[in-house]
Structure 1
């Protein structure tokens, strides 16, 4: 993956912290995400969806873009403008109260957000791990 391919999407309007595209470039180049069009990926703490855009375009997987601070409508509008609204579903929800079925995600990504919600003892084991498919 090359971060430069996404430079037109990177702006103060779409970023909420460090450049998630550069972080994803390093992550995906070192640990390629082995998912395809039939897989579901959870982008937890997606902010304004820039990371979800990259995940969808780089993998072809269906992405659930979850953030507590950005409304579904705001991200849906952005995803429509980016022509990824058929691959990325925005959800405004607290990571501590996710309403997904167990074992549906092939992969989960959380770029620069896990520290906001993952600090409680047992959070990963109780609230996140059950959502991952075996081998995910």
Structure 2
């Protein structure tokens, strides 16, 4: 099982992970599955940018609420992957995700798959490979 872990203290908000993801997923119209989010600190009146994507949960709420088989967990990697041919566009996965990750663009489900095919081929996910500050890493777990 694999996990993409993020250390926000190492992140310099360069957006290279975001661009690499969009490049690899050009079949999604150049949309990135990795989002940059602005986190506000009202006490200091400052903000910081962080990168965010699917956490590939052990018990994924998105998958558990999809009755059409548009999502599954790859048993080899543990990544939650999509099966767009089964997606009817109901967007329930998006509504139930506690991290607000699955999105719909041009009636297509857009969600990080951990670069599942790349990882199974022995490569790093595009976002991890592009991260020069090492804020993103791929680790083995379990």
User: Normalising by structure 2, what TM-score?
Assistant: 0.28
- Give 1 or 2: higher strand fraction: 2
Give the TM-score taking structure 1 as reference length: 0.29
Q: RCO (CA 8 Å, sep 6+): is it higher in 1 or 2?
A: 2
Is the helix fraction higher in 1 or 2? Answer: 1
